Amino acid sequence: MVKICCIGAGYVGGPTMAVIAIKCPAIEVVVVDISKPRIDAWNSDTLPIYEPGLDEVVKACRGKNLFFSTDVEKHVAEADIIFVSVNTPTKTRGLGAGKAADLTYWESAARMIADVSKSDKIVVEKSTVPVKTAEAIEKILTHNSKGINYQILSNPEFLAEGTAIDDLFKPDRVLIGGRETPGGQKAIQALKAVYAHWVPEENIITTNLWSAELSKLAANAFLAQRISSVNAMSALCEATGADVSEVSYAIGKDSRIGPKFLNASVGFGGSCFQKDILNLVYICECNGLPEVANYWKQVIKINDYQKSRFVNRVVSSMFNTVSGKKVAVLGFAFKKDTGDTREAPAIDVCNGLLGDKAQVSIYDPQVTGEQIQRDLAMNKFDWDHPMHLQPTSPAALKQVSVVWDAYEATKDAHAVCILTEWEEFKKLDYQKIFDNMQKPAFVFDGRNVVDAAKLREIGFIVYSIGKPLDAWLKDMPAVA
Ligand code: NAD
Ligand code: UDX
C-alpha cells in the first residue's frame, strides 16, 4: 500500500488529502500538523474550515484510509510520498519584509523530513513557493541525507476556497514539475499515478521544476490582474455613466478574453493573491527586473485604491462624515462560502469607516466576533495600505459590534455596506430593513449582488460598484 503523508492540515492540506483518500481507497493518507487544536477539529464533527462538500468527503474516509495526527515524525518516517502544504506567508521582518515569502515553516518541515527519514522519499511542494525553492529544499535534504534518495516535485494547488471540493474533483489541470533526470521522471510518474485515479491523463501536465513553481505565481497574478483591470474600469464607468456589468459582458464575449473573473468588486481578498503577487514582485526585483516588478505591483495598488475609493464613497455620500453613525456591514469573509477572512477587503473597509469614527455593526454567517476583532487590530504594511485604512486602535474597537443576524446589524443604521456576496444577502427583506433604518437610508453594494432598481423603489439611495450613479451620489463631492 502506498503511504502518503501531508505536512500541514490547513485550507489546502485538509481538502486535497481528503479528496486523494476518497478517490484512492488503496492509498493510506495521513495529514499531520503541529497545531493540536487543528488536528482535534479535523477528528471532530466540526471541521476547522467551512467548505461546501468537505464534511461528506471527510466523513466517508476518515478512520478508513484518511487520518489526522499530530505525530508528525512517525507518519513522515513511514510515508513514501510527503506533501508539504504548510503556510508560506509574506515576511514581516528582515530582508524582503513586506514582499518576500516567509519560508520558515517550509524549511523547518524540510529539516524534520531529513532528520526522521529512513527510506527513500518523494517530497512534493504543495505550498505556493518562490521559483527555485525546490533547489533550496534539495540542498537541505541531500546535505543531511544519510544515503537516502530524495526526489523533489512541485505540484502547486489551484483550488479556490468556497469551491475547493468541486475544484479538486474536476481540476482544470494538475501540474507536476520535476527534475529531468531518470529519478525525477520516475517520481513524476509515481505522483501522476495517484492523480490518474480520477483526473484524465490529458489534464495532468508535467514540466520542469521551475516552470511548475513559476506557473502557480503566474496564474494567481493573471487572475488578480483581471480583477484589478475590471475594478479600474469600474471607476471610469462611475465617472462616465457606463455600466461595468455591461462592459464585462461585452468584453467577455470575446473568446480571447473570456467571461470569467470579470466581476467588479470592492477589491480582491484571500490569502493568496496579494501574497503571491508580492512574492513575484520580489523575485523580479532580485533578478534585476524592476520594470516587471512595477508592472505587477500595480495590480495590488489598484486593489488598495478600490478599497479606499469605496470607503471614500461611503463617507462622502453621507455628508462627508460617518462619525457616530451606525453603519451595518454585511459580510466579512473574503468571498462567499468560506469563513476565511485573510486579506478580506472588509478589514480595510471597516478600518477606514472606524477611522472616520463610524459605529460599525457586522454580520457574517461564518465569521466569529473574535476573528473580526483580531483582524481589525492586525498590523499591516504601510506601503500597500493607505494611511486611512490602517488598523483600528483597541479604544476604537469599542465602536464595533458583531451580531448574528442581518436585521439586527441594519436596525437603526444609516447605511448598509455589502462586502461579501453571500447568497442570503440577495434574499433579505429590504423593505423591512428600510423601515428600521435612519433616513436617508443608504446601501453601498461592494459586490453588486442586490437589485438596485428594486431598492431604489423602496426608497434607498443605492451605490453599486461601476454602475451609473444615483443623482444623490453625483451631487456629492468627487471621490478619489
Ligand atoms: P493554512 O495556514 O491554512 O495551513 C497551514 C498549516 O500548516 C497550519 O495548520 C500550520 O499549523 C501547519 N504547519 C506549519 N508549519 C508546520 C510544520 N513544520 N509541521 C507541521 N505543520 C505545520 O495554509 P493554507 O491556506 O492551507 O495554505 C498552505 C499553502 O498552500 C500556502 O503556501 C498557500 O499559498 C498555498 N495555497 C493556498 C490556497 C488557499 O486557497 N488557501 C490555494 C492554493 C495554494
Ligand atoms: C485563488 C485562486 O483562484 C486559486 O486558483 C488559487 O489556488 C488560490 O487563490 P481564492 O483566493 O480561494 O483562490 O478565491 P478566488 O475565487 O480566486 O477569489 C479571490 C478574490 O477575488 C475574492 O475576494 C473574490 O471575491 C475576488 N473576485 C473574484 C472578484 O472580486 N471578482 C471576480 O471576478 C472574481
Cα–Cα distance measured from residue 179 to residue 120, given in angstroms and rounded to the nearest whole number: 16
217 domain residue, yes or no = no
Binding residues are 8-13, 33, 38, 86-90, 127-128, 161, 272-275, 342
3-state secondary structure of 44: coil
Cα separations in angstroms, 371 against 71, 232, 313, 343, 376 = 28, 30, 26, 13, 9
- Shortest CA distance to 321 belongs to which of 430, 435, 414? 414
Binding residues for NAD(+) are 8-13, 33, 38, 86-90, 127-128, 161, 272-275, 342
Best of 6, 85, 220 to mutate for ligand 1, by most ligand atoms within 8 A of CB? Answer: 85
For ligand 2, the distance from its centroid to the CA atom of residue 472, given in whole angstroms, is 32
323 domain residue, yes or no = yes
Question: Which numbered ligand comes closest to the C-alpha of 270?
Answer: 2
For ligand 1, the distance from its centroid to the CA atom of residue 85, given in whole angstroms, is 5
Alpha carbon 25 to its chain centroid, in Å, reads 30
Residues 420, 300, single domain; the answer is yes
CATH number at residue 394: 3.40.50.720
Q: Is 125 in the pocket of ligand 1 (CB under 6 A)?
A: no
The pTM of the whole model exceeds 0.80: yes
Domain residue limits at 17: 3-199
Active centre residues (catalytic): 272
Residues 89, 235, single domain; the answer is no
Q: Which residues, including other chains, have CB under 8 Å from residue 476's CB and lie 6 or more apart? A: 316, 317, 320
207 domain residue, yes or no = no
Residues 171, 22, single domain; the answer is yes
- Shortest CA distance to 133 belongs to which of 94, 84, 181, 95? 84
Backbone dihedral angles phi then psi of residue 202, each to the nearest 5 degrees: -70, -15
**Residue of the nearest CA to atom 6 in ligand 1?**
8
- Ligand 2: atom nearest CA of 167 is 5
β-strands 400-402, 359-363: how paired?
parallel
- Predicted confidence at residue 120, as pLDDT, reads 96
For ligand 1, the distance from its centroid to the CA atom of residue 320, given in whole angstroms, is 42
Residues 66, 173, single domain; the answer is yes
- Ligand 2: atom nearest CA of 335 is 25
Best of 12, 231, 334, 367 to mutate for ligand 2, by most ligand atoms within 8 A of CB? Answer: 334
Residues 289, 397, single domain; the answer is yes
Residues 259, 392, single domain; the answer is yes
209 domain residue, yes or no = no
Fill in the amino acid letter for 120.
D
**Residue of the nearest CA to atom 3 in ligand 1?**
10
Residues 346, 403, single domain; the answer is yes
Residues 193, 239, single domain; the answer is no
Burial (Cβ within 10 Å: 0-12, 13-18, ≥19) of residue 440: middle
- Predicted confidence at residue 1, as pLDDT, reads 78
- DSSP letter, residue 62: B
184: cell is 525525477
Cβ(338)–Cβ(270) under 8 Å? no
For ligand 2, the distance from its centroid to the CA atom of residue 143, given in whole angstroms, is 39
Question: Which numbered ligand comes closest to the C-alpha of 156?
Answer: 1
Q: Is 159 in the pocket of ligand 1 (CB under 6 A)?
A: yes
220 domain residue, yes or no = no
**Residue of the nearest CA to atom 21 in ligand 1?**
33
Encode the chain (480 residues) as per-residue pLDDT tens digits.
799 999 999 999 999 999 999 999 999 999 999 999 999 999 999 999 999 999 999 999 999 999 999 999 999 999 999 999 999 999 988 999 889 999 999 999 999 999 999 999 999 999 999 999 999 999 999 988 788 999 999 999 999 999 999 999 999 999 999 999 999 999 999 999 999 999 999 999 999 999 999 999 999 999 999 999 999 999 999 999 999 999 999 999 999 999 999 999 999 999 999 999 999 999 999 999 999 999 999 999 999 999 999 999 999 999 999 999 999 999 999 999 999 999 999 999 999 999 999 999 999 999 999 999 999 998 776 445 555 567 778 878 889 999 999 999 999 999 999 999 999 999 999 999 999 999 999 999 999 999 999 999 999 999 999 999 998 888 876 666
DSSP secondary structure of 328-339: EEE--SSSTT--
- Ligand 1: atom nearest CA of 101 is 32
Cα–Cα distance measured from residue 21 to residue 84, given in angstroms and rounded to the nearest whole number: 16
- Predicted confidence at residue 378, as pLDDT, reads 87
Best of 273, 340, 348, 421 to mutate for ligand 2, by most ligand atoms within 8 A of CB? Answer: 273
Q: Which residues, including other chains, have CB under 8 Å from residue 44's CB and lie 6 or more apart? A: none
Cα–Cα distance measured from residue 350 to residue 380, given in angstroms and rounded to the nearest whole number: 14
**CA geometry: angle at 39 spanning 33 and 41, to 5°?**
150
Other C-beta atoms lying within 10 Å of the C-beta of residue 477: 10
337: cell is 462560502
- Sign of the dihedral defined by the CA atoms of residues 379, 383, 384, 386, in that order: positive
138: cell is 534539495
How many domains are there within the chain?
2
Q: Give pLDDT tens digits for 421-477.
A: 999 999 999 999 999 999 999 999 999 999 999 999 999 999 999 999 998 888 876
Cα–Cα distance measured from residue 120 to residue 88, given in angstroms and rounded to the nearest whole number: 26
Residues 413, 359, single domain; the answer is yes
Q: Which long-range contacts (CB under 8 A, 24 or more apart) does 147-150 make?
A: 148/117, 148/118, 148/119, 148/120, 148/121, 149/120, 149/121, 149/183, 150/117, 150/120, 150/121, 150/122, 150/123
Cα separations in angstroms, 11 against 55, 176, 213, 426 = 13, 20, 19, 27
Residues 21, 79, single domain; the answer is yes
Q: Calculate the dihedral angle through the C-alpha atoms of 9, 11, 14, 16, rounding to the nearest 10 degrees.
A: -130
Fill in the amino acid letter for 45.
D
Q: Is the ipTM of this complex over 0.90?
A: yes
For ligand 2, the distance from its centroid to the CA atom of residue 198, given in whole angstroms, is 25
Cα–Cα distance measured from residue 41 to residue 378, given in angstroms and rounded to the nearest whole number: 25
Give me the helix-helix angle, 345-355 and 369-377, nearest 10°: 70
Question: Which numbered ligand comes closest to the C-alpha of 101?
Answer: 1
Best of 68, 83, 86 to mutate for ligand 1, by most ligand atoms within 8 A of CB? Answer: 86
Residues 177, 286, single domain; the answer is no
- Sign of the dihedral defined by the CA atoms of residues 135, 137, 142, 147, in that order: negative
**Residues in contact with ligand 2 (CB, 6 Å cut-off):** 157-161, 220, 223, 227, 261-263, 265, 268-270, 272-273, 334-335
Cβ(38)–Cβ(87) under 8 Å? no
Strand positions, DSSP E, 78-149: 81-84, 121-125
Cβ(406)–Cβ(429) under 8 Å? no
CA atoms lying within 13 Å on the CB side of residue 125: 30
Residues 173, 294, single domain; the answer is no
412 domain residue, yes or no = yes
- DSSP letter, residue 470: P
Q: Is 110 in the pocket of ligand 1 (CB under 6 A)?
A: no
237: cell is 464607468
For ligand 2, the distance from its centroid to the CA atom of residue 160, given in whole angstroms, is 7
341 domain residue, yes or no = yes
- DSSP letter, residue 101: B
